[in-house]
Structure 1
């Protein structure tokens, strides 16, 4: 499938998995909108890296839970590159705590970004992605592990999976695939924050490959779904080295 003249929006792409996805899709030939919510310098670094490698990219600040800001981002993508073919929603936050101890304001924050943000981005994508395009959301493999402390985060990602599976069916007739990628433990700032070396080593051994995933591992899966997939649709793909 040719990516010539095609455009991708990648939310949360100033760092981590989103950054790796933006750079990989640019390498694949997509023009890329690098979305960020706060760190403009990091987003510009991603744009610079893409341009240095010969790709096309712009940065756009938008809170994914703000429908006005997200609509403006889609407007900017269409104005700059002529249309939208792929949307990857990787923006998300994670707060870990036992259910009995979790602050409800942290639960609300995760619901706002992870659930409302996914819904808002997917709503614009459903309206604007061109026929033959792709929508990819990010979930987590931790749901199947039932690890204490992850209840609120896993619950928010369960909602992400439901949104994707239903949207795939609502887009019948437009040849747009909608899938969710569920990474296992991946070496990003989001995952590593607050964990000691012993816990990280323990989680790395949960899969038979006996290592953490890398952002590039996940970007490889999304690259396929965005540019070479025409038949996998409405699915949750577990990218975790065989953890489940």
Structure 2
């Protein structure tokens, strides 16, 4: 697969104030990139560390150029304005990382419709809104990418039954991205999804699943490294694929994954949702 450097690339990341989004931002910054930190978190949270401004400072300290934008991906006009602002500020947009997401692990019967409306509006609809707004700029890039953090579609009943509402929104993100791969093929824009092999130590695991899983998880760094592997591929060879972080990195020659563990002593990492092997 052809490779190129990521330097001087402008990367627009949603949900970038903490967790995986922040880690991807810092990884891109270390390559000397322009990074747009787009998230709702513009003031400190009592329980969750990180704001768009603190991450912007970290990006600058890491060697990148930062632009912090307070953004709710549900607001179409705000997203359109944010893309225009970023493109004007940095001279274009080369990469969109659809990282913003909401989680709700409950069955149809136990999910309030207003809660489903929320996760759908952030996950599926937010991915569509951001992608649509970014496309005009990505078409102008020599190496345009849309990377969406969503899983391979697994229709096994044991994944569909327990929490169909959330699954519907995440699979919707994947279907949208795979569709965009075909829609934008002639425009030279690569569209892929990325999902972790194991759970990643983030607030979502701590508060939405089980804090005990943190020790059985990997750090967000593995997702950042996998994202860089995608962004440094310039021949569209990955476009239209649903990628898993460990498998992609192994394909690129990585053999040691021990340093990604939260707990170096943990021998049984927790496999992430929707992955059976």
TM range (shorter): 0.7 to 0.9
1:132 pairs with one of 105, 124, 143? 143
**1:38 Cα offset (Å):** 3.3
For structure 1, the 5+ residue unaligned runs are: 205-210
| TM-score, length-scaled by structure 2 | 0.78
Distance between the aligned counterparts of 2:68 and 2:118, measured in 1?
Answer: 24
Asked if residue 233 in structure 1 is aligned to residue 239 in structure 2, the reply is: yes
Alignment-derived partner of residue 103 in structure 1? 112
Picking from 183, 187, 190, the partner of 1:170 is 183
RMSD: 2.2
Which residues in structure 2 correspond to 1:182-197 (within 5 Å)? 182-183=195-196, 184-196=198-210
Query: Structure 1 pair 95/39, CA: closer, same or farther in 2 (3 Å)?
Result: farther
Match of 1:207 in 2: none
* Contact 2:200-2:218 at 8 Å conserved across structures: yes
Q: Is the 8 A contact 2:150 2:173 kept in 1?
A: yes
Runs of 4+, deviation exceeding 4 Å: 141-145, 240-243
Task: Provide the residue aligned with 2:23 in structure 1.
Answer: 20
Cα distance in 1, alignment partners of residues 209 and 72 from structure 2: 27
Distance 2:199 2:152 in 1: 8
Tell me the secondary structure at the aligned position of residue 84 of structure 1: coil
Contact 2:103-2:208 within 8 A present in 1 as well: no
Cα deviation digits, residues 185-240 of structure 1 (max 9, x gap)? 21100122144455x27xx7xxxxxx413211111111111123521111111236
Residue 70 of structure 1 is matched in structure 2 by: 79
Question: How far apart, in 2, do the equivalents of 1:215 and 1:225 lie?
Answer: 16
TM-score, structure 1 length as denominator? 0.88
- Displacement of 1:131 in angstroms is 3.6
Query: How many residue pairs were aligned?
Result: 235
Matches for 1:1-244 after TM superposition, within 5 Å: 1-41=4-44, 42-129=51-138, 130-140=141-151, 146=159, 149-183=162-196, 184-196=198-210, 200=213, 211-230=216-235, 231-239=237-245, 243=275, 244=277
Q: Is the 8 A contact 2:31 2:64 kept in 1?
A: no
